Structure 1
């Protein structure tokens, strides 16, 4: 809800034009500490896209998504212009509500303002207000919305009298938190009034009540009382004059719809009749597909189209209040607060109604000027509850048990089993005040727990826990829970509903860092839930340990305290899941997919975890422990030696060069890669930049980002993969249709070619970023295209690339530049000879190439262990690609996870691979591995691997040597 203080309001402002008014707003935001001065350009850029005039002499200027980096704190500044400002769309503005928002908070502010716009005379009152308090009151006061929805209906109730139906309706209002016991007593004491036509009404008003209307109909439509039919009974809660719209609804219904019709109707029909939709009314159902719902821009499009129609069109939300609003009113449409996935009901009557509804429904389905995708509810059937963990037989002590090798390394430590607590609680509760007290006490306890943890933590862990403390102090989170509790939910159900809703909203954000806040929200939610349910959350020990858990997500891995977590063991998961990839990047040994029995391991018992072989040994003997500790010391010495020699040239023992580069997901990490000995960047995933913005980053933004990486590399080559999204990893502002098989769908270069303008901007930005530095040092740039299936797709991009090379002056762009493709589809490997004749290089993405070749989803919980890049079928495709590249004098690299597999490295070198690109942390170890064999040894390893018939046979043959 929008709240204003005196310091937020500037009175008696003057401006000669809307441009100078915007400048004044920018200055106010900057002086208030909300934005940097550069935010001014964002305000003007946003206004250039479309007018931010809202209605009732109010405009709400705010920045573009690109300008959000200049926002220091979210907030507003209100500027009053008593003389008014002529806005560029012909409107006159007396108040600017200038918004500084770091994501999409301005949408909530906008929806709050729509309540202001419904009131007559607000424009004049704002213009003439003489105090800040008066302006704040005008903008902040919200009239309570009358309640009438599916939850306040009580249909086909087995009552014997109108009084019984009245009490049934009153009970619905009480359950919804609209009325109190005094209302119930008042209703019980008075008889309902007959309105005619089978309709009856009982009402009571009071300042403490929420305006609401319940409707009850009898199971027996033949019910009579005092000689009148009893077919529908209304129970009305009144407050001031806010319930008048409900009375108008009753009057219209009594006049136009026979009570018998209402009594025989189901819920959907009743809501439509309450909305004034009769047999003469044409209607259409249409779903909102816009990512942020009907906010200002799409709502404005809807209103413009509605105004062009020959008949008046009304619109309402299908779920919720049946109140229809005029589709020609911008403030009314925005006030609906329609979110993505909700259904709208459009209605109109008269000549041309059908065509008018078709036109408006088609526009809504088309996105109203925004790119949209079909709605996917996200509902998934609940997994069956597993048997009690104790029912699983314990793993034999001092014996090796197999899992999936996910991250190399050896760990020896006590285990900590993180078993997710199961919360059982009632969904509903009768005493909302008692439930609110319970919730407040639980939040206070949760805050105390976190404060104690912060005092005992340090560094990044303390920062995360402090952020959790702030989340528990979020008034919006508490308010959402309070609303649910007052509607009859229990403290537990109301709290978790608020947490889950907020977390889901975060997950939908384009900004990856903000989206990952969802995991933190749920962590916070579980902490409070555990207090409410009297369940103690497991806390990790203070000493080093191996974490055992069912599964773990990427954001969870990123937050692990690497000083304490010596290893990771999971029940589920695969070696190429993102969490496993991140574990490798962090250098945490990991075994995944080890089965349900690992969850029955005894806490604090010692475990040997071998991330290289995918093996664990619970409760090892002293003899095994001694051998493992000796191996661990040898590994630590090897790592130390590798680090000390990290800047040496990457080559085999006999001097054969193999470039070792780093895979990066962010340009900021380029300098770290160089520090770790990387001889370049073999894969820059540029999608990170697109995911960090709520709309496609512009040319300047991209150029600056790519230039950062090139400058940090100081003359080392950079391989930048063009935008690789779609299907399994969509962008919110570039939605694609739902696909049954997203890995086989519209992604990579296929998706980019559907929007060549976006692709051209990225290519241009890369070329501009690669221009020679001021000191004359060249910036070797390699541009790589993902998901190329044949030469036709490469040629389509090459045409754009060649044109840009001509258009951009040579001294303003990269001169040492190559255009290549990523080999990750079997067809591109099979057609490598035709591709090699035209591309400048190949880089093999073994993760996708493996899953496409073996038809195994690399994240599949059961089959992922079989998705081995050392399978001979995959190796043969790699061999074909290497031979085709070298036949044309082109270089070839490997940028998939296989490149850092110690067993696979000699095979890849033996096949002729020129470059290995791995996570930055793995660079020193891969260089060290290369120094352990000769080129002849590598070729023999490749020959032996190609002679096998299965992936397991390949590994057995190589490890036996």
Structure 2
């Protein structure tokens, strides 16, 4: 039995098909000066061809999977049409390298830079760059690109990696699922797999060496188990689990668009956590009533400069408009800890989670927060936007932020730029310090959102990313629960509300406790929404709840 990283739940049983990685005929020797113009021409022709291919894939994806997933390829087209990328590759060609070697060098250089970024989400963008580089080189060499939509037998794909463009062309009727050696849970490949509803496990080391073509495979991405040529007993068991999985999935479908209301009438708002515009469609599809957390830092990462006010405004406005007058809570930049931006030149720290991150950066780099607040205020004119500040530990920090917000409003008013003058502001409760003074903090803001991941980490003094101590990381530890209860009580006492947006919010074991202590909003990962709604709708608290 083998395991990896689950990216799309389900069970598939079938024969393996290994996608062989062919070696491209890339010549390493340098070219003569006479051939430089010819190589540049070959490269530019390849870019044009690649753009046309991606446009067709985008159209196919929109038709077969959905418009929001097709937007992934808009990003691919933008990279292909990026003048800087072409300039870098042509510079190498001018140094007498072939078009394919020049492309390979530039793509490799970009990937090397991205690998230095600690954030998992951005590391998973590497596969997009690889996908684009592979396509450019294939077209330079006139390699016939194999389409997965042409596979006419029912198989489970086994490969080193799958690119987003390959995954989007998967024929669901014949490709039952896939297993890859590389990849992560937030890659575009994984996002497309979830949308297709295809069982998928990635990050399985040496799977291509362990499996042969036509081996019988069980891909169980519910329990994270892969079997190669299993016995009849395991096959019978997995078929039964598969049947039950589909039954339960169908039952949960009815909860998507129902209100999250307990049997005794308590209404709970259910929002979704998002990182980018693409995530909104999945959130709405799963029945999200709002966006409870938009992590704006992903707009800043993977770039070589700060996003401008206009760039931010366009993205914020799009998110608000896509939610069609439903609430959107945007968290201001939370850089530091496990998220970094090279161009900010943040110092290397022994313990970044206890150091220079989030709000602590604002006062030293004041233009960052000023630009972001202006963009958010401008966007607030197009829907129900609320602003949330991270990593608060004192009243002084709130006074500072409110002063900056007042300043931004004044400047926009002077420039005759409209915005919501009564915009609501909230803070993240993710430190024990904030929880302990929550009574005072709640008098200064409109709402709280508990970041249970960091609150757990800081309360228990456990780095959740450290394998040596991660077993001690327990969001349901009595000390964490006591702090959460204290925060809710403080906010309600002062007529404010409290939401929760960490992993604890999507933990079914914690749902009833969180409702009982008075949590007003759950903001969770989209696929978990139907299940949490189901638990809420079956809960009853007015009388003594014997099942609690």
Q: TM-score, normalised by structure 2?
A: 0.69
Counterpart of 2:369 (choices 759, 774, 777) is 759
Cα separation, 2, equivalents of 1:434 and 1:702 = 43
Deviation per residue, 1:467-492 (Å, 9 max, x gap) = 79x89xx9878855654556xxx998
Specify whether residues 652 and 695 from structure 1 end up closer, same or farther in structure 2 by C-alpha distance, changes over 3 A only: same
Provide the secondary structure at the position in 2 that maps to 1:788.
coil
The match for 2:392 is 788
Specify whether residues 612 and 709 from structure 1 end up closer, same or farther in structure 2 by C-alpha distance, changes over 3 A only: same
- The Cα shift of 1:496 comes to 3.0
Instruction: Report 1:166-205 matches (<5 A).
Output: none
- Higher mean alpha-carbon deviation, 844-853 vs 785-794, is at 844-853
- The Cα shift of 1:523 comes to 1.9
Q: Is there any run of 5+ residues in structure 2 with no aligned partner, and where? A: 64-69, 117-121
Instruction: Report 1:788-937 matches (<5 A).
Output: 788-801=392-405, 813-814=419-420, 817-825=423-431, 827-829=433-435, 832=438, 835-836=441-442, 838-849=444-455, 855-856=462-463, 858=465, 863=467, 866=470, 870-873=474-477, 876-889=479-492, 890-902=496-508, 905-906=511-512, 908-909=514-515, 912-934=518-540
Report if aligned partners of 1:417, 1:599 keep a CA contact under 8 Å in 2.
Answer: no
| Count of residues paired in the alignment | 518
Cα separation, 1, equivalents of 2:500 and 2:390 = 13
- The Cα shift of 1:710 comes to 3.7
- Higher mean alpha-carbon deviation, 784-793 vs 412-421, is at 412-421
Counterpart of 2:132 (choices 508, 521, 527) is 521
- Higher mean alpha-carbon deviation, 747-756 vs 667-676, is at 667-676
- The Cα shift of 1:684 comes to 1.7
- The Cα shift of 1:615 comes to 2.9
The match for 2:294 is 684
The match for 1:500 is 108
- The Cα shift of 1:939 comes to 8.2
Cα separation, 1, equivalents of 2:439 and 2:532 = 29
Q: Is there any run of 5+ residues in structure 1 with no aligned partner, and where? A: 1-394, 396-400, 774-778, 943-961
Provide the secondary structure at the position in 1 that maps to 2:292.
strand
Counterpart of 1:608 (choices 201, 218, 241) is 218
Deviation per residue, 1:557-595 (Å, 9 max, x gap) = 9955465465454557777x6679847964655545555
Cα separation, 1, equivalents of 2:469 and 2:216 = 25
Measured on the aligned residues, the alpha-carbon RMSD in Å equals 5.7
Specify whether residues 561 and 641 from structure 1 end up closer, same or farther in structure 2 by C-alpha distance, changes over 3 A only: farther
Report if aligned partners of 2:464, 2:470 keep a CA contact under 8 Å in 1.
Answer: no
- The Cα shift of 1:529 comes to 10
Deviation per residue, 1:782-825 (Å, 9 max, x gap) = 3211233444433321333356678877x954366432222345
Q: TM-score, normalised by structure 1?
A: 0.43
Cα separation, 1, equivalents of 2:315 and 2:57 = 38
Instruction: Report 1:204-215 matches (<5 A).
Output: none
Specify whether residues 866 and 729 from structure 1 end up closer, same or farther in structure 2 by C-alpha distance, changes over 3 A only: closer
The match for 1:958 is none
Instruction: Report 1:101-120 matches (<5 A).
Output: none
Specify whether residues 865 and 459 from structure 1 end up closer, same or farther in structure 2 by C-alpha distance, changes over 3 A only: farther
Cα separation, 2, equivalents of 1:435 and 1:750 = 51
Report if aligned partners of 2:107, 2:133 keep a CA contact under 8 Å in 1.
Answer: yes
Report if aligned partners of 1:551, 1:573 keep a CA contact under 8 Å in 2.
Answer: yes
- Structure having the higher Rg: 1
Instruction: Report 1:433-832 matches (<5 A).
Output: 459-460=60-61, 482-485=93-96, 496-497=104-105, 499-501=107-109, 518-524=129-135, 527=138, 540=148, 541-542=151-152, 546-548=156-158, 556=164, 560-561=168-169, 564=172, 567=177, 569-571=179-181, 582=191, 586=195, 589-591=199-201, 594-596=204-206, 599-621=209-231, 624-652=234-262, 655-667=265-277, 670=280, 673-674=283-284, 676-690=286-300, 696=306, 702-703=312-313, 705-726=315-336, 728-731=338-341, 734-738=344-348, 742-771=352-381, 780-801=384-405, 813-814=419-420, 817-825=423-431, 827-829=433-435, 832=438
Cα separation, 1, equivalents of 2:16 and 2:432 = 42
Provide the secondary structure at the position in 1 that maps to 2:376.
helix
Q: Which has the higher contact order (CA 8 A, sep 6+)?
A: 2
